[in-house]
Amino acid sequence: MIQGVITRISGPVVQAKDIEGIKIRDLVVVGDLGLLGEVIEVKGNEVSIQVYEETDGLTVGQPVKSGGMPFLVELGPGLLGTTYDGIQRPLEVIRDQTGNFIQRGATASPLVREKKWGFNATAKKGDSVSFGDIIGWVQESPTIKHYIMVPQGVSGKIAKINSGDYTIDQPVGSLEDDTELKMSQKWPIRRPRPSKRKIPTNIPLVSGQRIFDVFFPLPKGGNAIIPGPFGSGKTVMQQSLAKWSDADVVVYVGCGERGNEMTEVLTEFPHLEDPRTGAPLMNRTVLVANTSNMPVAARETSIYTGITLAEYYRDMGYDVAMMADSTSRWAEALREISGRLEEMPGEEGYPPYLASRIAEFYERSGRVICLGGKIPGSDKSENERIGSVTVIGAVSPPGGDFSEPVTQNSLRIAGAFWGLDARLAYSRHFPAINWLTSYSLYLDTLKDWYNAELTEEFMQMRTELMEILQREDELNKIVQLVGKDSLSDPDKLLLDIARTVRDDFLRQSAFHEIEAYCPPKKSYYMMKAILLFYKNCQSRLGKIPYDQILTQPGWEKISSMRYFPNDKFEAPCQELLKEMAAGGELAAVAA
């Protein structure tokens, strides 16, 4: 045990001396209150400590103790369905101990130590195992098998292993050198968990949101940012992605957001139904809550806690989606701590290493071949297991200014940019994603999947709709000068079709029973219907008055497609497409 004394206190940063042998990132216990902290600077026998809790009441001369280890998260069965704070304290357990407000110095085990799990051994006596190999599994939730992996630094031949009911502290087996094998392990949050290698991200994360799945797709293992001003829908967008994406596991980190927003997540998620299984969504979700009124130092840590939990489930062969809301609040925590350390400030007061920290975080996303062999009992022929971590980070630029440092440094790393627009939000267009400024760098890598799973014309239709929206933007500038009546009929038709694309395709209610989720196949039918109707209307231009084209039932039929039930949309969609392909929606005009 390393021990020293406090010499200076500056907000969440505490300085101590007479601490020999301590290292950067070591975990420390500060003062008589036993507050947790982390070493962030070492100068001789003096150190600076980032304390994860409020430092009121600490005084110079109080002790500082350290075991010489970094901050470790505990990984094992029981993570799913739990709500933690930024330093992996289970909030429900802490609430039972201290009430609705967390008392400083309160601690609790991240995992339930008394519960017995039904362990099913897949390895057997005599097997050689090493880091990452699966030795068995427990049914953590009705939908997720929790695979028990050999921790780092452990290898050898299994001397004994038995199925049965065990707590996480009881050994399920041992190696020939008497090393015990347990169901839990620990990992330093700031060090990425290793893998064999990264592989191409060529399978989309299906979100059920048309503007993402069609226009700006994100693959499993990719990363995206959602920047936008206050009130533009960042949090609702991330919650929708957490609810509806086809990830196996969701890790949602509320980093520095308002308490009422995080309360909504905490109260709503336990009652949500998983659309894929019908079971509660919390069965495959981990929540990390570190709101704006909680200690700023723990806010900085919460991002790393979340990504480490995501990597752990990735290593089991699962596709994990991590939502970080918001990375701007995390960067503000970095700025505050940097100021307390009296470091030289960079742009807008952020530390000079802001760009590298953001890059280190987003680069922990990816689709990988995991260490160890394939999943036991898997019907896949390959001897490898593949997992992914997809990172979606919200950015809250002050005043919606995308030129500020956090947004710009995130843009350099992120593969997809989903820019929110306050004007769209104020006009009640949600999701308020600006289709003219947003982009995805993953279109080429996902093209083969769309061609194989949907149709080869899918990407071509997407391109045609984007061209319509871009042309609409050009025509709107003319309309503002001379009015719509001065346009030609083809240009008027393009503006009206563009309005249909915006209002009936891109607009999507996150709270409607059917509209909240749209399968990619349904999006394909809607695109095809819009383009067929547009083609039919073009063929009638000059033959009938334009006002009669605007009164045709085809417009309403396209709008109604959004509300076709998601479990039986194909038949009515195909019927409508047949009618449009034959020009039936304009038959009354022709007559």
pLDDT tens sequence across 500-522:
999 999 999 988 989 999 999 99
| pLDDT score of 462 more than 70 | yes
Is the residue at 452 inside a domain?
A: no
Is the residue at 83 inside a domain?
A: no
pLDDT in tens, 77-105: 999 999 998 899 998 898 888 887 778 88
Is the residue at 91 inside a domain?
A: no
**Token pair belonging to 253:** 């980190």
**Token pair belonging to 67:** 């075991």
pTM: 0.93
Listed residue (390, 141, 413, 139) closest to 245, CA to CA: 390
Q: How confident is the model at residue 587 (pLDDT cuts 50, 70, 90)?
A: very low
Structural domain count, the chain: 4
| pLDDT score of 70 more than 60 | yes
Do 427 and 556 lie in one domain? The reply is no
Q: Alpha carbon of 188 to those of 21, 378, 386, 477: distances in Å?
A: 19, 30, 23, 54
Mapping DSSP to helix (H, G, I), strand (E, B) and coil, where does residue 244 land? Answer: helix
Neighbouring C-alpha atoms within 13 Å toward the C-beta of 81:
15
Cross-strand partners of 73 = 187
Angle between helices 327-340 and 354-362 (to 10 degrees): 140
Phi, psi of 273, rounded to the nearest 5 degrees: -100, 130
DSSP string, 84-147: E-TT--BHHHHHHHH-SSPPTT----SS-SS--EEEEE-S-TT-EE-TT-EEEEEE-SSS-EEE
Q: How confident is the model at residue 278 (pLDDT cuts 50, 70, 90)?
A: confident
Q: How confident is the model at residue 287 (pLDDT cuts 50, 70, 90)?
A: very high
Please list the alpha-helical segments (H only) found in 150-232.
210
Do 162 and 249 lie in one domain? The reply is no
Domain of residue 538, CATH code: 1.10.1140.10
Inter-residue contact 368 to 196 (CB < 8 Å): yes
Q: Alpha carbon of 6 to those of 1, 51, 235, 297, 485: distances in Å?
A: 16, 12, 40, 18, 76
Is the residue at 139 inside a domain?
A: yes
Domain ends where: 52, 70, 88?
Answer: 70
Average pLDDT of 162-184? 96
Do 296 and 271 lie in one domain? The reply is yes
Domain ends where: 53, 70, 87?
Answer: 70
Residue with tokens 């100068």: 43
**Amino acid 585: pLDDT:** 58
Residue with tokens 């699966």: 134
Residue with tokens 């394939």: 374
Quote the CA–CA distance of 94 and 98 in Å, as a whole number.
Answer: 6
The C-alpha angle with vertex 26 and arms to 20 and 29, in degrees rounded to 5, equals: 85
Domain with 290 in it? 197-373+382-440
Specify the DSSP element, H or E, that contains 588.
helix 587-590
Per the omega criterion (within 30 degrees of 0), is the bond before 405 cis?
no
Is the residue at 77 inside a domain?
A: no
Domain ends where: 141, 160, 183?
Answer: 183
Contacts of 138 (CB under 8 A, 6+ apart): 77, 117, 118, 119, 120, 145, 146, 148, 183
Q: What is the mean pLDDT of the chain?
A: 91
Domain of residue 313, CATH code: 3.40.50.300
Do 523 and 390 lie in one domain? The reply is no
Per DSSP (E only), the strands in 396-518 are: 416-417, 439-440
**Token pair belonging to 474:** 């050009």
Q: How confident is the model at residue 591 (pLDDT cuts 50, 70, 90)?
A: very low
Torsion of CA 217, 222, 227, 232, to 10 degrees: 50
Do 62 and 158 lie in one domain? The reply is no
Do 274 and 335 lie in one domain? The reply is yes
**Amino acid 383: pLDDT:** 72
**Token pair belonging to 85:** 């704070």
Please list the alpha-helical segments (H only) found in 280-376.
296-314, 327-340, 354-362
pLDDT in tens, 6-52: 999 998 899 999 888 889 889 999 999 899 999 999 988 899 999 98
Do 414 and 551 lie in one domain? The reply is no
Quote the CA–CA distance of 297 and 340 in Å, as a whole number.
Answer: 11
Residue with tokens 């002050």: 398
| pLDDT score of 589 more than 50 | no
Do 283 and 416 lie in one domain? The reply is yes
